Amino acid sequence: MAARVLSFYLLLFLSIAQLGVSLYEDQVGLMDWHQRYIGKVKHAVFHTQRSGRKRVMVSTEQNVIASLDLRHGDIFWRRVLGANDSVDGIELALGKYVISLSSAGGTLRAWNLPDGQMVWETSLQGSKPSKAFLLVPTNLKVDKDNLVLAFGGGCLVAVSSIDGEMLWKKDFAAESLEVQQVVQSPGSDVIYVLGFVGSTQFDIYQINGKNGEVIHHETSNYAGGFSRNTLIVSDDMLVALDVTGSILITVNFQGGKVRIDVKPISDLVGYYSGQVELLALRLGRMFALKAHQHIALISVTNEGKLEVAEKVNSAAAISDALPFSEGQLAVARVHHEDNKVQLTVKLGNDWSTNLLDETVKIDGQRGLVQKVFINNYIRTDRSHGFRALVVMEDHSLLLVQQGEIVWTREDGLASVLDVTTTELPVEKDGVSVSKVEQNLFDWLKGHVLKLKGTLMLATPDDMVAIQAMRLKSSEKSKMTRDHNGFRKLLIVLTQARKLYALHTGDGRIIWSLLIGSLRKSDACGHPVGLRVYPWQVPHHHAMDENPSVLVVGRCQLSQDAPGILSFVDAYTGSEIESSGPVHDVLQVIPLPFTDSTEQRLHLLIDTKQRGHLYPRSREALGIFQQKSSNIYWYSIETGNGIIRGYAIKGSCIHEDSDDFCFEPRDLWSVVFPGESEKIISTATPKLNEVVHTQAKVMAEQDLMYKYISKNLLFVATASPKASHGIGSATPEEASLVVYLIDTVTGRVFYRMTHQGCQAPVHAVFSENWVIYHYFNLRAHRYEMSVIEIYDQSRADNKDVLKLVVGKHNLTVPTSSYSRPEIVAKSQSYFFTHSVKAITVTLTAKGITSKQLLIGTIGDQVLALDKRYLDPRRSLNPSQAEKEEGVIPLTDSLPVIPQSYLTHALKVEGLRDVITVPAKLESTTLVFAYGVDLFFTRLAPSRTYDSLTEDFSYALLLLTIVALVAAIVVTWIWSERKELQEKWR
């Protein structure tokens, strides 16, 4: 009887509990944090008028245009442009607009300086791709309207800076002119357009800036041929390199007359080797030449002679020239000396004069200086001071003023490549952080305050105190492991090849490491980071050994470039060891075995499908050889439409091979017909996912066995026309086919065609189901489909009792070769939004129900209960099904605003969402990254296994006290009554 009642209450509770997660507004920041970034700065324009806020406008490689506070480095406003809309340049116009040119000169936009509101947008449709320039002449006016000149797509366009209206347009592509530079002649309305026709002819056009008419056109030839690397020096001189890159060509075009001079570079800089490069800097009557690890600064004398002003190490960065007073120019040069950074501001006209010479100490983990922008200000003693905005190798941004770093922005975190997590150290005597711990009195005081809050007795001051107390809770930011597993380290690899460890409690950076082995070297020209894997996770020696991570990188972007491996200690952030350049790395397979030091075995597959075993120890080799007959992998050749399966054949036979190299054996291949199907997306179950039960109890005590295998692969193919973006295919020519393939045998378990549907496909695979998101052209809406697979061969084994008692033969090993009979159930639903990423919650034991986490096009993360994507949903579910929690069928999935994990925040430029199980079964940790970072923790079925943060201990105490008092009072009453009875 009691159990019935209990189960009834449980059902009641479940039905009351909403299918989403929701948050009260005062809970923001309790378990989530959000960090806003902009990315690696490309251009910077200062806006420091005497009154008002001082700011700097920047554009970045993550296509962000932002306005930063020059005092603190905070973001005033920020606009994230589309993924293909990279910024070519930004300028200020009229003192109130920021003009940006983007999409290779395709789009010109003006942004309001104070608040970032877009004021106007003009599309410049050029006829062919070309370089893109933005020029805002200072004194070119037509009817009191300042002009903005933009060059892109082979056309020079003049646009009104007030409303963006196009005033004139001149097409140079028609004359097959490849425009290299556009300059304004100082003090006049004449615009010079300089370019090449073919490789030997130099053309110069003089254009009237007011109406776009050609005033003068002159050509000149140079038989040696020009390379496409040019630079404008002063107002009337262009510097170029010849095709061989060994001769410097100066083109003087004063007054429209062209004079070409040549000079071998070796005459100027002496001996050098390798590539020569002109640095794209505007230095007044100077230019910078990069040759042989040196930068030569070459000045042009008034007579047009070239002289080397200085030679500096190539690790230096030089700023553009800044005019500051009476035609004087200042140029900043930053170079490294020992572990300090030397900032020198020199007079552009006279290189020997130093305006400023400061030494700044910059953290060595920031690497070399990449870019520097300077700005001047007037000191109180009326002399000129300079501040410098410095972009470092790790993409961070620093403001240096008076020899000190005023502020720092960690903008490397805007380009996260991969994330993994590690546990924090176990609490032990030495590590204890007792200082921050509260005593009992404080604890009780806090709870009394909270109680006041719940009873609405608190004054506004109390409310503020409560909120501050909750946000600051030292519990969450401690540097030790907690019982619930909420505190972890997020190890984040960024595009700048820097590794960061972020604390999950408050998102602060614990350590950061610019990985030494992944830095530019002679052997490795353009290293890139790829992935990061947990390498060693100590359980037995958790007290005295530190976990470590493996960072996999490559020498170049191409797949067959040699790989680099780096092993980093996850607590100290130091590189333990590294190897590389080694064989190329196509795929990394973490194997489910560890050696005696708890290092996980990894098999690295190269482009020839050979496997390389790590760690390189005898012991690991022994373990691997024992298990090698059970190791399978596959490769997906997207271009050819082939998926191949492999197994280990034996040791490598080619020369210079070692014992840790293994030859592959071809097992199977699945070939998709190239003319009708193109692979567009794949998904596999997560290796670390835990599945609690293999059986699913249906209504009427029926049992279904989930088909659970980690060796399943979901593949989506689309007809070639339908594999591009929306808007290019018609429903008739689009089709989408999905497959479930066993990666051990290559058997296709399931195949389904969606007619009239197309890419993009985002899929997530978990337990025995896969959910994928695609576009339905017929309905012109997005759809999400679910496929659940069940094992029919065990279907007759329906003894629930045995299953409960654990006598069921579920522990019998299953094999992929046993040809299971599989039943798939599927259903599709409409979904409103475009999707950027889909993932699923992971919990420690897999008992908690699942939620899908969907990164929407609006850069929010939406939690959607898996029960909405149940293939058994029907219009009228039976009573039994209702009890089980089957939701009545609707054609579209609900978007419940309260279940946005990101609540009223946006994770700008969202790229991916990852989930990590906490130790507490009900809870999962969610990390979403893009240009911004967002972290929160989520309980998909509410925290049924712990008290919530809001739990009021004071109320509990109060209740107990009340109960005790009641007991005492009633006891006294009854005593008294008894006495009276007796007296009677």
Partner 1 sequence: MTEARIFITTLLFGLLCSSILRSAQAVALADGFTINGRVKIPSELNIPSAVAGAKGFGLLGKISDVKVILNGGQRATFLRPDGYFSFHDVPAGTHLIEVAALGYFFSPIRVDVSARNPGKVQAALTENRRALKELVLEPLREEQYYEIREPFSIMSIVKSPMGLMVGFMLIVVFLMPKLMENMDPEEMRRAQEEMRSQGVPSLANFLPGATRN
- By CB under 8 A, the residues from 951 to 980 that bind partner 1 are 955-956, 958-959, 962-963, 966, 970
The answer to whether residue 172 forms part of the interface with partner 1 (CB under 8 A) is no
Tell me how far apart the alpha carbons of residues 319 and 355 are, in angstroms, rounded to a whole number. 14
Of 381 and 461, CB closest to partner 1: 461
How many Cβ atoms from other residues are within 10 Å of residue 109's Cβ?
A: 23
Tell me how far apart the alpha carbons of residues 481 and 431 are, in angstroms, rounded to a whole number. 11
The answer to whether residue 115 forms part of the interface with partner 1 (CB under 8 A) is yes
**Sheet containing 97-102: order of strands:** 87-93, 97-102, 107-112, 118-123
The answer to whether residue 464 forms part of the interface with partner 1 (CB under 8 A) is no
Binders of partner 1 among 780-799, rule CB under 8 A? 780-782
Binders of partner 1 among 912-941, rule CB under 8 A? none
Of 656 and 700, CB closest to partner 1: 700
Binders of partner 1 among 762-781, rule CB under 8 A? 775, 777, 779-781
Out of 73, 116, 224, 590, name the contact with partner 1 by CB under 8 A.
116
Compute the least distance from the CB of residue 150 to partner 1, in Å. 14
H or E element at residue 11: helix 2-16
Compute the least distance from the CB of residue 170 to partner 1, in Å. 17
Of 279 and 469, CB closest to partner 1: 469
Q: Quote the longest CA-to-CA distance of the chain.
A: 133
The answer to whether residue 760 forms part of the interface with partner 1 (CB under 8 A) is yes
DSSP code of residue 182: E
H or E element at residue 92: strand 87-93
Of 12 and 433, CB closest to partner 1: 12
Out of 14, 436, 471, 979, name the contact with partner 1 by CB under 8 A.
14
Compute the least distance from the CB of residue 524 to partner 1, in Å. 33
Beta-bridge mates of residue 47? 55
Binders of partner 1 among 272-311, rule CB under 8 A? none
Tell me how far apart the alpha carbons of residues 166 and 211 are, in angstroms, rounded to a whole number. 11
Per-residue contact track with partner 1, 224 to 263, x per CB under 8 A? ----------------------------------------
Of 354 and 898, CB closest to partner 1: 898
Tell me how far apart the alpha carbons of residues 478 and 523 are, in angstroms, rounded to a whole number. 42
The b/e string for 889-923 (b: 16+ C-beta within 10 A; e otherwise) is eeeebeebeebbbbbebbbbbbbbbbbbbbebbbb
Task: Select the span of 81-89, 228-236, 354-362, 679-687 touching partner 1 (CB under 8 A).
Answer: 81-89
Out of 12, 24, 218, 592, name the contact with partner 1 by CB under 8 A.
24
Of 209 and 453, CB closest to partner 1: 453
DSSP code of residue 638: T
Out of 726, 822, 823, 889, name the contact with partner 1 by CB under 8 A.
726
The answer to whether residue 4 forms part of the interface with partner 1 (CB under 8 A) is yes
Q: Among 14, 56, 722, 709, which residue's Cα sits nearest to residue 398?
A: 56
Beta-bridge mates of residue 774? 783
Compute the least distance from the CB of residue 4 to partner 1, in Å. 6
Out of 223, 456, 653, 812, name the contact with partner 1 by CB under 8 A.
456
Binders of partner 1 among 798-817, rule CB under 8 A? 800-801, 803-804
Tell me how far apart the alpha carbons of residues 140 and 187 are, in angstroms, rounded to a whole number. 9
The residue type of 11 is L
How many Cβ atoms from other residues are within 10 Å of residue 147's Cβ?
A: 23
For residue 647, the SS3 value is strand
Compute the least distance from the CB of residue 119 to partner 1, in Å. 7
The answer to whether residues 63 and 85 touch, using CB atoms and an 8 Å cutoff, is yes
Angle separating helix axes 460-472 and 440-454, nearest 10 degrees: 130
Out of 596, 725, 752, 817, name the contact with partner 1 by CB under 8 A.
725
Binders of partner 1 among 898-917, rule CB under 8 A? 898, 900, 903-904, 906
Phi, psi for 697 (deg, rounded to 5): -90, 120
Of 26 and 69, CB closest to partner 1: 26
Out of 12, 17, 83, 752, name the contact with partner 1 by CB under 8 A.
83
What angle is formed at CA 421 by the lines to CA 419 and CA 425, rounded to 5 degrees? 150
Out of 77, 772, 927, 934, name the contact with partner 1 by CB under 8 A.
77
Binders of partner 1 among 832-851, rule CB under 8 A? 832-834, 836
630, burial (CB in 10 Å: exposed 0-12, middle 13-18, buried 19+)? exposed
Binders of partner 1 among 875-894, rule CB under 8 A? 883-884, 892
The answer to whether residue 159 forms part of the interface with partner 1 (CB under 8 A) is no
For residue 303, the SS3 value is coil
H or E element at residue 974: helix 953-983
CA 213 vs. chain centroid, Å, equals: 47
The answer to whether residue 25 forms part of the interface with partner 1 (CB under 8 A) is yes
Which tokens sit at 970? Answer: 């009633």
Out of 12, 15, 72, 118, name the contact with partner 1 by CB under 8 A.
118
Of 124 and 502, CB closest to partner 1: 124
The answer to whether residue 7 forms part of the interface with partner 1 (CB under 8 A) is yes
CA 237 vs. chain centroid, Å, equals: 42
Out of 43, 109, 600, 873, name the contact with partner 1 by CB under 8 A.
109
Compute the least distance from the CB of residue 960 to partner 1, in Å. 9
Beta-bridge mates of residue 952? none
